[in-house]
Structure 1
Amino acid sequence: MRFWLLKSEPDVFGFADLVRVGREPWNGVRNYQARNFLREMREGDLCLFYHSNAKPAGVAGVARVCRAAYADDLQFDAQSQYFDPKSMVDAPRWSMVDVEPLIAFPQVVSLETLREMPEWDGSALTRRGSRLSVLPVEVGAFWATLDAAGLGLDEVGELG
């Protein structure tokens, strides 16, 4: 199992929205490095769901990958802002995964808090100017974030 961070603006699609819908494709990623990270994801991988452009910005919960990478259908939709005229059905450029919510944090673990945690030192998230919407997360940083969220053994035990 691997650990990831998915960024989304809560006014566009926040963790509460994921809880409401239950399962959602993580589509519309149009950065090659972030796309490659999506392609590395496997069913069962765990994701920190990060609210960007929020006050405070930070991790709002944990989601699980429930379908590994497949072609992002929006790349073929001419009406979509994510349409890519160079993408072909038999050779898609862009991928997506499906995610489902696991645990909503009682409160957001802020970016400032993450920056103070040694487990996040050197991570792409805590470096200034990092804009990728999909990032790998080190095991220690993942578990330290759950601890910072105040989750006890009962909640953490659900994650295996």
Structure 2
Amino acid sequence: MAYWLFKSERDTWSWDEQKKKGKKGEPWNGVRNYQANNNMKAMKKGDLGFFYHSNDDRCVVGIVRVIGEHRPDPTDEKGKFGLVVIEAVEDMPKPVTLADVKAEPALSEMVLVKNSRLSVQPVTAEEWKLVCKMGGLKKAP
């Protein structure tokens, strides 16, 4: 299993909206960055990800699961980019802010710290466990 981080502006697509989609999930579309698209191509059904509110909040607020692997994004008129489908798994009991992540020396190499503008990014297993712990999860999913 691999781990990921999905960034969304709260006013574009929020964690609450994601949760309302339930088990049918929602396509993660509109990505127009080659590196982010390549990250989605690497995703497998069952992979987990952090749902991160960017802009004002800048924090991990929940955990999602990939339920549909990479496929063409119908919102891309040029046909260069794809999407994956994700479902909400659980809330992060305590949102983990970007400041929290940057203050943790063990997370200094995390893509969120090094390339915070990338909208879909990989997370290592060690980073996953630590962020889950920082967020108050008793056991990392």
- Which TM-score band (shorter chain)? over 0.9
Equivalent residue for 1:32?
34
Please report how far the alpha carbon of residue 119 of structure 1 lies from its aligned counterpart in structure 2 after TM superposition.
3.1
CA contact (8 A) 2:110 2:127 kept: no
Query: TM-score, normalized by length of structure 1?
Result: 0.82
Equivalent residue for 2:92?
105
Q: Report the Cα distance in structure 1 between the residues aligned to 2:97 and 2:117, rounded to whole angstroms.
A: 16
Please report how far the alpha carbon of residue 152 of structure 1 lies from its aligned counterpart in structure 2 after TM superposition.
1.1
**Counterpart amino acid of residue 72 in structure 1:** D
**Counterpart amino acid of residue 20 in structure 1:** K
Q: Report the Cα distance in structure 2 between the residues aligned to 1:118 and 1:16, rounded to whole angstroms.
A: 31
Per-residue CA distance 1:36-61 (angstroms, 9 max, x = gap): 11111110000011110023x11001
CA contact (8 A) 2:61 2:92 kept: yes
The correspondence of residues 7-156 of structure 1 with structure 2, limited to 5 A, is: 7-22=7-22, 23-55=25-57, 57-75=58-76, 84=77, 87=78, 92-127=79-114, 130-153=116-139, 156=140
Q: Report the Cα distance in structure 2 between the residues aligned to 1:150 and 1:121, rounded to whole angstroms.
A: 20
Please give the secondary structure, in 2, of the residue aligned with 1:68. Answer: strand
Please give the secondary structure, in 1, of the residue aligned with 2:130. Answer: helix
Please report how far the alpha carbon of residue 105 of structure 1 lies from its aligned counterpart in structure 2 after TM superposition.
1.3
Tell me: CA distance 1:107–1:54, structure 2 relative to 1, closer, same or farther (3 Å): farther
**Counterpart amino acid of residue 72 in structure 2:** A
**Counterpart amino acid of residue 35 in structure 2:** Q
Please report how far the alpha carbon of residue 131 of structure 1 lies from its aligned counterpart in structure 2 after TM superposition.
1.1
Please report how far the alpha carbon of residue 9 of structure 1 lies from its aligned counterpart in structure 2 after TM superposition.
0.6
**Counterpart amino acid of residue 7 in structure 1:** K
Q: Report the Cα distance in structure 2 between the residues aligned to 1:15 and 1:32, rounded to whole angstroms.
A: 24
- Structure 1 residue runs without a partner (length 5+): 76-83
Please identify the structure whose Cα radius of gyration is greater: 1
Aligned length: 139
Please give the secondary structure, in 1, of the residue aligned with 2:91. Answer: strand
Q: Report the Cα distance in structure 2 between the residues aligned to 1:135 and 1:67, rounded to whole angstroms.
A: 17
Query: TM-score, normalized by length of structure 2?
Result: 0.93
Please report how far the alpha carbon of residue 134 of structure 1 lies from its aligned counterpart in structure 2 after TM superposition.
0.4
